[in-house]
Amino acid sequence: MRGTMALVLAAMLLVAGCATGGGKTAASEPAVTGTKRGPVEGGPATVIEVENFKLTKAKVIDLAGAGGGKAVVFTDEAAEAEYTVPALPKGTYDVVIFGVGQSDREDAVYIRVAGQSEERVFPDEWKKLLPFRAVRFTQPDNGPCKIVLSFGEENVQLDRVEIRPGK
C-alpha cells in the first residue's frame, strides 16, 4: 500500500510540475548565454552570466537572486572579466550590467564594449541586485563583440550583462 501511495504522490507532483511550466523561474534558468525579454528597455536581450566570462583576479560567489545563484567579485585592482559574443549583428545597442554595490565607495566597475572608450558604471541603490547605468555602443559590422569589465571599486558583486537593441 505504501508503494502505491508513493507512486500516486509522485505522479501528482509530476503532473503539477507540468501544469505550471515545470516550475522554471528566472532563478532556476541555467547560467549560460541566452535570449530573453530585457526588463529595462523591454526588448529582446542577449544575456551573459559574468561567471561565464574569462576571469582574471576574480572569484565566483553565491548570490541569492542572481542568475544561476552566482556572482563575480574582483579580488585585485588588476582584475578583469572578458567575454566575446561570437556573432552580433551590425547596429546600435545598450549594454547593462546587473549587480550589487555595497556603498558609495564599493559600487563601481568599468566597462569597455566593441573597442569603444571605457566607461564607469554603478547602480542607483546599494545592497540590492539592480541594473547599472546602460551604456550605448555601436557594433560596426556583423561579427564578434568583445566586452571587458574591469575593477573600479572593491566588493562589487557582478551577476550578468544584458545586450539589447538600442532604440
Per-residue pLDDT reduced to its tens digit, 18-57: 332 333 223 333 333 444 433 333 458 999 999 999 999 9
Q: What are phi and psi of 26, to 5 degrees?
A: -55, -35
pTM: predicted TM-score of the whole model, two decimal places? 0.75
Per-residue pLDDT reduced to its tens digit, 101-129: 999 999 999 999 999 999 999 999 999 99
Asked whether the beta carbons of 53 and 82 are under 8 A apart, the reply is yes
Asked whether the beta carbons of 24 and 9 are under 8 A apart, the reply is no
- What are the residues whose beta carbons fall under 8 Å from the beta carbon of 10, sequence distance 6 or more? none
The predicted structure's pLDDT at residue 44: 85
The predicted structure's pLDDT at residue 167: 81
d(CA 2, CA 71): 43
Q: Does residue 65 surpass a pLDDT of 50?
A: yes
Give me the residues paired with residue 84 across strands. 146
Q: Does residue 16 surpass a pLDDT of 70?
A: no
> What burial letters (b/e) apply to 88-110, b meaning 16+ CB within 10 Å?
beeeebbbbbbbbbeeeebbbbe
